[in-house]
Amino acid sequence: MVDLHGRYDQVVCLDCRRTYSRRLLAGVFEELNPGFLERAADGGLVEMAPDADATVEDQALISSFVVAICPACGGTLKPDFVYFGENVPKDRVERSYAMVDQAAALVVAGSSLTVMSGLRFVRHAAKESKPVVIINRGATRGDDKATIKLEAGVSQALDYLAAELPAL
């Protein structure tokens, strides 16, 4: 399995590429910025997005925030997922192609394949005549390449398949 667009529960250093637990980093932020969340909730926080991006209008609150640095190298930390407009890291793409090449089939779970970063592996598998299974609620850009399309939620479908398929 490849978390193609990264993982929400990890943070990566953009300089040395070390990864850290987001939970650990949350503790570091709280130590560096005691009471920040409470102050933001009381007067400056306008909106919190699912990717943890936030809109804060209180400029004094923003300017007082102390940013954590990588404990290993002092570099810049960021959530370890690909934001819109960013590229999937090259090593992850290469590893993904290698996995598709070695696999008997490709399973895409819970993606609309709207962006090319995931669709390219579906096209690659289909070109290599490998079965493609897509599990998703709603249409995807890869449906025309799918050998099997399961119109279902990922958890439900994978639980069913795990229970029904013989152990490999």
Catalytic residues: 5
**Residues near 105 by beta carbon (within 8 Å), at least 6 away in sequence:** 125, 130, 131, 132, 133, 147
Please say whether the beta carbons of 113 and 142 come within 8 A. Answer: yes
Q: Is 109 exposed, middle or buried (0-12, 13-18, 19+ CB in 10 A)?
A: middle
Cα distance between residue 46 and residue 29, in whole Å: 20
User: What DSSP assignment string belongs to 112-147?
Assistant: ---SHHHHHHHHHHHHTT--EEEE-SS--TTGGG-S
**Which tokens hold the place of 151?**
């119109």
Please say whether the beta carbons of 76 and 13 come within 8 A. Answer: yes
